[in-house]
Structure 1
Amino acid sequence: MADLHVGEVLRPKFITGSRSLFSGAIARLWQDKLALLGLVIILAVVAMAIFAPYLAPNDPVKVNLAQRLAPPGAQYPLGTDHLGRCLLSRLIYGTRVSLATAALALSAIVLISIPLGTLAGYCGGRVDNAIMRVVDVLLAFPGLILALVIAGTLGPGLLNVMLALSLVWWVGYARVIRGMVLSVKEKEFVLATRACGTREMGIITRHILPNMLSPVIVLATLDMGKLILAISGLSFLGLGAQPPTPEWGAMLNDGRPYMQVAPQLMVYPGLCIMTVVLAFNLLGDGLRDALDPRGMTRL
């Protein structure tokens, strides 16, 4: 009965503290102007991707050789590329391709890393050693080079790029999650819950996983920009999106031979990549500061 009393006392305090932490995080994030700027840019880009069919002035894949490399005008606000396709329409539709590919890759990374990282940290012993040795082997290679090798072996295509990045990127998340589990599972509220007779799965889902949300959210936000860069880089090398799919990295590669006569073919896609990556970095930095419990003292 004493253990049950301890568990019942600690559990409400933990839940209340978690709620107050996230409430304080929202307040601190609202005060961070750079993070809000990043959030506004991201929301605008997401809206552009969703409403691309209504925003694009022309068909992004329609070829019009009579208008190739045309300057900006009423019909083509940003001009056309080497095949006479509307550059603005391809940039707008490229937003949809780049964001969707990065989001799907990030979802696969999280789905792989959370179970493996939690299993390694909570079970320990041979399970931990087996999983972490695989992580150590993968971390011994440069991530982008390893992804390039895997994507090259699988063949060109966005699906293969997502698979290659997922197989390489999950290891960093698994190490972070494992460290968080090792720390949280020794906390008093977890020990009290275990003393009450709660099953291991209940402890993991109700107490350990919620405490991993903050670092995983921050890491995922920062990595969205990195994934967009990686996907654009692989597409630039010809391993990602294939013609005529509008994708920022592929558009950079298509405009490379015309850099001197039509620099906008590379400048505009590069600006899109830079803006979106910067926005995710600003939001990620703001979330990292906002979700830091020590920041509660500044409110």
Structure 2
Amino acid sequence: MTDQQQADLRHDEVEAGTQTVLAAPSIDVTNARQNSLWSDAWDSLRRNPLFWIGAVLGLVFVLMALIPQVFARGADPRACNLANSNQKPSAEHWFGFDQQGCDYLANVVYGARNSLIIGLLAVLVVLVLGVLVGAVSGFYGGMIDSVLSRITDIFYALPLILGALVVLRSGTIGRGVVAVAIALAAFGWMTAMRLVRSQVIAVKSSDYVAAARAMGASNRRILLRHILPNAVAPVLVYTTITIGVLIAAEATLTFLGVGLQRPAISWGLQIENGQSLLRTAPHLVLFPSLILTTTVMAFIMMGDALRDALDPRQRA
């Protein structure tokens, strides 16, 4: 065998070895980090009693919205008899009757549906706007970041309740369930945007993002595959807490007379109707207020538990 043949043989062996190394399965660092984060978070949540209390209460209220007839003991919230007007709670009628003589337990139970629909729909719009604007702003930076940040600052200038009140008072979008949810979301997405933007800015300088870019990954793939999954934790915490905040905001708007209108059934409407009868029939304000407070508290407890579980410093 000549020297040239020996050199060619060694070159082929090196190439074969290189191909073997390149063909070896690569480790997805991003997925490994995500799996570790969520695994550790779940271990922490399982040991947190506040999470389970909030989760059980949240599940109860969701079921109440889905199958209200079970929790209302078969009573019809619109079957009224003026002879029962403002009667106090009893063993047969746990929440008593309202001013029109309607079973108040049934009214409070059926009020959960509109409140939860508005809270969940509004937070969904908040997520879409916040994540989209925040991701684009943080990833591209420069002039795009400056323009989107200033638009966000403009919306920050109006408080949530005041902004939604102005929109609903104008009557341009109506005052139904969807209209109230959109009005709340329009002035509630800015914090989610700030959270996503700051996380994207922090994550996009990571080594695995630089490696993905060096391998020729497109901006869209880098953003969706590598950056957003690692920026979602604080947004998830914020979203859980915000559901409770938006439910309370809906009740406030309805109480002020610019939210849901009759014949809709809502906790805010019940509190507004009962305020003039607080001395003679305090149960008309007590029961919807108690259920509203418990619902808001359930989502806030879950959000607090998620925050502690997803923050590595809390597990140290």
Measured against the shorter chain, the TM-score band is over 0.9
Aligned counterpart, 1:61: 78
* % same residue: 35
Structure 1 residue corresponding to 2:210, chosen from 191, 198, 219: 191
Measure the CA separation in 1 of the matches of 2:260 and 2:162.
18
Aligned counterpart, 2:10: none
Residue 174 (str. 1) matches residue 189 (str. 2): no
Does the Cα contact within 8 Å between 1:117 and 1:175 map onto a contact in 2? yes
Between Structure 1 and Structure 2, whose CA radius of gyration is higher?
A: 2
Residue 242 (str. 1) matches residue 261 (str. 2): yes
Does the Cα contact within 8 Å between 2:271 and 2:285 map onto a contact in 1? yes
Residue 35 (str. 1) matches residue 51 (str. 2): yes
Aligned counterpart, 1:72: 89
Structure 1 residue 54: Cα displacement? 2.8
Measure the CA separation in 2 of the matches of 1:61 and 1:214.
43
Does the Cα contact within 8 Å between 1:157 and 1:239 map onto a contact in 2? no
Does the Cα contact within 8 Å between 1:222 and 1:281 map onto a contact in 2? yes
Give runs of aligned pairs for residues 3-42 of structure 1, distance below 5 A. Answer: 12-42=28-58
Q: Deviations over 1:17-51 (max 9, x none)?
A: 21011111011011111222111111111122222
Does the Cα contact within 8 Å between 2:254 and 2:260 map onto a contact in 1? yes
Structure 2 residue corresponding to 1:263, chosen from 282, 285, 291: 282
Measure the CA separation in 1 of the matches of 2:231 and 2:90.
51
Q: Give the total of aligned pairs.
A: 292
Structure 1 residue 101: Cα displacement? 1.0
Aligned counterpart, 1:228: 247
Q: Deviations over 1:162-211 (max 9, x none)?
A: 11111101111111111111111111100100000011111111111111
* Higher RCO (Cα < 8 Å, 6 or more apart): 1
TM-score using structure 1 length: 0.92
Aligned counterpart, 2:234: 215
Compare 202-211 and 259-268 and name the one that shifted more.
202-211
Give runs of aligned pairs for residues 131-146 of structure 1, distance below 5 A. Answer: 131-146=148-163
TM-score using structure 2 length: 0.88
Measure the CA separation in 2 of the matches of 1:294 and 1:73.
50
Measure the CA separation in 1 of the matches of 2:137 and 2:226.
17
Residue 48 (str. 1) matches residue 64 (str. 2): yes
Does the Cα contact within 8 Å between 2:164 and 2:187 map onto a contact in 1? yes
Give runs of aligned pairs for residues 108-147 of structure 1, distance below 5 A. Answer: 108-147=125-164
CA-based RMSD: 1.8
Q: Deviations over 1:208-261 (max 9, x none)?
A: 111122111100011111101100000111112211222111110011111111
